[in-house]
Structure 1
Amino acid sequence: MKKSTLFTTTICALTLFLSSNANAQKFPDLDKSPLDAAWYPNDYKDANKAARVIYGRPQLKGRNVSELAPNGKVWRTGANEAAEITLYTDMSLGKTKIAAGVYTMYTIPGEKEWTVIINKDKNVWGAYTYNDKNDVARLAIPVTTSTDSLEAFSMVFTKADKGVTLNVGWGTTRLAVPFTN
């Protein structure tokens, strides 16, 4: 009985060893511009969300914002995939009503203002296939400057009187994008 148990244990161990090596996975290195998300309310325990944005976080690494997000050109609003924004309730951007749903968010940087674009395309890499015919809303947002510099592109929602504000920052550039109910 002992030889049988030892034999069975050895066979099981050998099978496990060989099968784990046969199914070994190669995982990619960490992304240099990792995905991040911001949502409102920010409390993870509150499931009643108003909005969420998922975006890549490029780093300046000694470069200027205008090099990475050139003025006058449609930008994916982050790195890699175009930023994806989900509105869980109907909202407005400026005077344009936007139905609850999932959208792509682009921006067109400028010296004094950036144009924020909500577009109905989804699963878009960069802004290479951007199609303005699929725009749902556009709004020019004044640019402000901070004394603090952000190395990584960042977004965060804050409460507003009649909705939420999506705060966008990179380097010393700051935008406050108002979404109202």
Structure 2
Amino acid sequence: MMKAVLSLVMVFSLFCFDAQAQDFSDLDKSPMDVSIIRNEDNSPMARVIYSRPKMRGREIFGELVPYGDVWRTGANEATELRLYQDMTIGGQTIPAGTYTLYTIPEKTEWTIILNKAQKQWGAYEYDADKDLLRIKAPARKAAAPIEDFSIAFQPIENGTNLLMGWANTYVEVPLKNVGE
């Protein structure tokens, strides 16, 4: 009799746990990601935190992301670039710190913007007066379509390239160690 009662309790508890199962169907459609590059001594050089929207069959540049407009460079919160050491970008020395990374995509080139404002949602409160850096980078054709917006670091001599790509386009921004 005791075994029958225990069996009944176990079966009932299985139904209860199943009824309380979590539903993750509303997870963010553009999940956050992070990319980091380290120096030879394993200390961090730079880190980027961003959200990764998907193409999902949409026309990206010129449509979803209009040409000539300031873009948060991803989705949701504006992309954050953290430099752990002073770096030279486009011939300008940028002090170590955390910056918002905006871009202005065009067909043949993007304007890359480092802005001193932090914790921004989208580009709705973008303030050009807080720009620390504006440089141009050629828009290049990707070897294959990039479904999810992606940012990565590529080691180079004396620094790193910051690669940003989506759809059929990517840009490359060299970040050089100061004094090298």
- Specify the TM-score bucket, using the shorter chain as the normaliser: 0.7 to 0.9
Match of 2:151 in 1: 155
Q: For residues 147 and 105 of structure 1, what CA distance do their matches in structure 2 show? A: 25
Q: Which residue, out of 30, 38, 44, partners 2:27?
A: 30
> What does the per-residue CA deviation read over 1:112-165, in whole Å, with 9 as the maximum and x for residues that have no partner?
000000000000000000001100111100011023001100011011122110
- 1:39 maps to amino acid: I
* Length-normalised TM-score, structure 1: 0.80
Q: Distance in 2 between matches of 1:179 and 1:42?
A: 13
Q: Secondary structure at the match of 1:133?
A: helix
1:1-181 aligned at under 5 Å gives the runs 29-41=26-38, 47-66=42-61, 67-181=63-177
Q: In the aligned structure 2, how far is the partner of 1:133 from the partner of 1:93? A: 19
Aligned residues: 155
- Percentage of pairs with the same residue: 48
Taking only aligned residues, the RMSD between alpha carbons, in angstroms, comes to 2.0
**TM-score, length-scaled by structure 2:** 0.81
Aligned-partner Cα distance in 2 for 1:42–1:167: 17
Give me the whole-angstrom Cα distance separating, in 2, the residues matched to 1:111 and 1:143: 7
Structure 2 segments unaligned to the other structure (5+ residues): 1-21
Q: Does structure 1 conserve the Cα–Cα contact (< 8 Å) formed by 2:99 and 2:114?
A: yes
